[in-house]
Structure 1
Amino acid sequence: MSDLVVIVYPTEAKAEEVRQRLFELQKQYLISLNDAVIATKTETGKIKLNQIVNTTLAGAASGSFWGLLIGVIFLNPLLGVAVGAASGAIGGALTDAGINDAFMKELANNLQPGNGALFLLIQTMTADKILKEIQGYGGTVLKTSLDETKEQSLREALDQAAAAA
């Protein structure tokens, strides 16, 4: 079972810094992330999602390969690549892996323009080590699916950084 954690940072750059740090910790097997998305709200109120995987691009690449293969078999590789890329891109755009985009946009509506909300879908983590690593970045917990003790530990760790600043 995965846990959802949403932390709001004063800027998108700070949220990206934390996300990159978590990716480094993932390489050390301290955390396993299913998804990590940054949502921001522009001055005009538009919500922008910065996802780690572009499913449209991945679908187009995969579709191109399979289209080329089928095109070679039927002696028309260029048509095969074009059709494969188009169908792959459409399939990729319709695929929503990880955290639901509509849910993220709904929560991000509460953000102040310029803030960055880091949405994390955590499969497993070594909580005490992760908290030590991210507490210096500050941030405010917006929403979690953690149990009450873990959520309180997270809030306290982030509040300590805010109090120190």
Structure 2
Amino acid sequence: MAELVVVGFDCLTDADGVLTELTRLQKEYLIDLEDAVVAIRGQDGSVRIKQSVNLVSLGAAGGGLRGAMWGSLIGLLFLNPLAGFAIGGAVGAGSGALSGSMLDYGINDDFIRSIGDTLKPETSALFLLIRKSQPEKILAELSGFKGHVIRSSLSPEQEAKLQAALARAHPPSPSDGVEAAGAAVASLPGTG
């Protein structure tokens, strides 16, 4: 079961920075994210939401491939597979993009907007749906980002440990290492 964690940051760019680092760590198999979303509240109070998965382009690509395949097969029946491929691909891409724009994958958009509306101007939040993770290694890598837990589905003990690590975050210095962040966390989703 995936765990939801929403972390707020006092800087506009920190949520993006953490997501970039988590994407890198996902390639190293240290975390498995089901979904990630960044919400940024501008100085004017408007909330901008950045999805990590673009469902419109994903739907268009998948629909285009399925449409092209079926179009080619139908085109073979009428002795014109190239026309069937082109027409089927175009129809499939259009219907896939439409269905992708109507999907709500992962974290609920209404939930994201409701939390985004509570952010202070010129702050950001990172919404994570985590399948599993290696918490000690992740927090050690993210020790330069200071934030606070807004919401989570973690156990009270796990949430308290995460909050403590985020509150103590500081840019790493050569003499310091990352023991403070690693020692602050015993377990996060998927480790226990």
Same-fold call, TM > 0.5?
yes
Higher RCO, 1 vs 2 (CA within 8 Å, ≥6 residues apart): 1
Pair 1:146 & 2:123 matched:
no
Q: Quick one: which of 97, 115, 120 aligns to 1:107?
A: 115
Pair 1:37 & 2:37 matched:
yes
Q: Among all aligned residue pairs of Structure 1 and Structure 2, give the percentage whose two residues are the same amino acid.
A: 40
| Rounded Cα–Cα distance in structure 1 between residues aligned with 2:27 and 2:70 | 38
Q: State the TM-score, normalizing by the size of structure 1.
A: 0.87
| Rounded Cα–Cα distance in structure 2 between residues aligned with 1:152 and 1:109 | 24
Larger fraction in helix: 1
Can you give the 5+ residue segments of structure 1 that lack an aligned partner in the other structure?
none
**Offset at residue 44 of structure 1 (A):** 4.3
Number of matched residues? 163
Can you give the 5+ residue segments of structure 2 that lack an aligned partner in the other structure?
173-192
After superposition, the C-alpha distances for 1:56-86 in whole angstroms (9 at most, x for unaligned) are 1111122222222333323443432332121
Q: Quick one: which of 88, 94, 108 aligns to 2:102?
A: 94
The one-letter code matched in structure 2 to 1:146 is L
Counterpart of 1:55 in structure 2 is: 55
Alpha-carbon RMSD: 2.0
**Offset at residue 27 of structure 1 (A):** 2.4
Counterpart of 2:64 in structure 1 is: 64
Counterpart of 2:184 in structure 1 is: none
**Offset at residue 31 of structure 1 (A):** 1.6
**Deviating 4+ runs (over 6 angstroms):** none
| Rounded Cα–Cα distance in structure 1 between residues aligned with 2:21 and 2:57 | 25
Q: State the TM-score, normalizing by the size of structure 2.
A: 0.76
Pair 1:157 & 2:151 matched:
no
Structure index of larger Rg: 2
Counterpart of 1:11 in structure 2 is: 11
| Rounded Cα–Cα distance in structure 2 between residues aligned with 1:83 and 1:50 | 28
